[in-house]
Amino acid sequence: MGQIVPDLVERYLASLNRQSDGVLDEIAHEGVREHLPLINAEVGALLRVLTAACGARRVLEVGTAIGYSTIWIAGALPPDGLLITMETSEERARRARANVERAGLSGRVSVMIGDAERLIAKVAGPFDLIFQDCDKKLYGPMLDRLVELLRPGGLLVTDNVLWDGEVVPGHVSLPRKDPADTRAIADYNVRLSAHPQLITSTIPLRDGLALCVKRGARELNPLLESLERSTRALRAADFNENASR
């Protein structure tokens, strides 16, 4: 039984999710067999929705494992889109590349091997979406650089922010996680909620996902500004369709 969402609800959500495919299902089975901490298909579907919703062309993923979430995200990118994903384990990165190839997405995915904390200093932004899913103790130390790499209006999505409910005081009677990880995630959640450049909402899907939008899109988006101006003008004009007939 999941600690956050009851099994029955998880099964119901799974029954509504028709977006998976043969390659994704095979990787998910490998993940279960090898006890790899992969997202599930419902989180994959959410990542796909978010990628499409923000019109992402450039995505950064931190924590590839064997490419399961990578394929969910890359599948929603346009053909000329790019997803850069970072993985410290060479063996996992090699399997991720093979899986991405099998999914027919190698043209849109670049797997970088190494410690993401160092690699993020070398990549150039801006990214439309960043998916953070690596070592939980690195969430805090990497946050400022990831926000810097994100375009205004872009999305930072972080997995495992409820940590089997262990970050919720009093929710779990027998904690099983490394207390240092639990503390790191709890501190990270507080930082996200108070971050001056982020608007954050946390959703209790699977192990909890923090969804953050980087502020500042308005200043850089003249189209949005002109839409706002015309909305204000319409309001000010006290528009009445019947009166003009």
Residues at the site binding ligand SAM, with contacts judged by CB under 6 A: 37-39, 63, 65, 68-69, 86-89, 92, 115-117, 133-135, 138
CA distance 231 to 213: 23
Q: Do the bridges between strand 82-87 and strand 109-113 make them parallel or antiparallel, or are there none, so unpaired?
A: parallel
C-beta closer to ligand SAM: residue 86 or 130: 86
Minimal distance, residue 35 CB to ligand SAM, in Å:
11
C-beta closer to ligand SAM: residue 84 or 192: 84
CA distance 134 to 206: 17
C-beta closer to ligand SAM: residue 10 or 135: 135
CB atoms near residue 81 (< 10 Å): 20
Minimal distance, residue 68 CB to ligand SAM, in Å:
3
Minimal distance, residue 101 CB to ligand SAM, in Å:
16
C-beta closer to ligand SAM: residue 76 or 153: 76
- By CB atoms closer than 10 A (0-12, 13-18, 19+), residue 130 is buried
Structure tokens at 141: 């130390």
Which neighbouring-strand residues pair with 127? Answer: 150
C-beta closer to ligand SAM: residue 37 or 78: 37
Minimal distance, residue 195 CB to ligand SAM, in Å:
21
DSSP category for residue 60: E
Structure tokens at 80: 């000329």
List CB contacts of 114: < 8 A, sequence separation 6 or more.
Answer: 86, 88
Minimal distance, residue 105 CB to ligand SAM, in Å:
14
CA distance 2 to 162: 12
C-beta closer to ligand SAM: residue 67 or 81: 67
Minimal distance, residue 245 CB to ligand SAM, in Å:
56
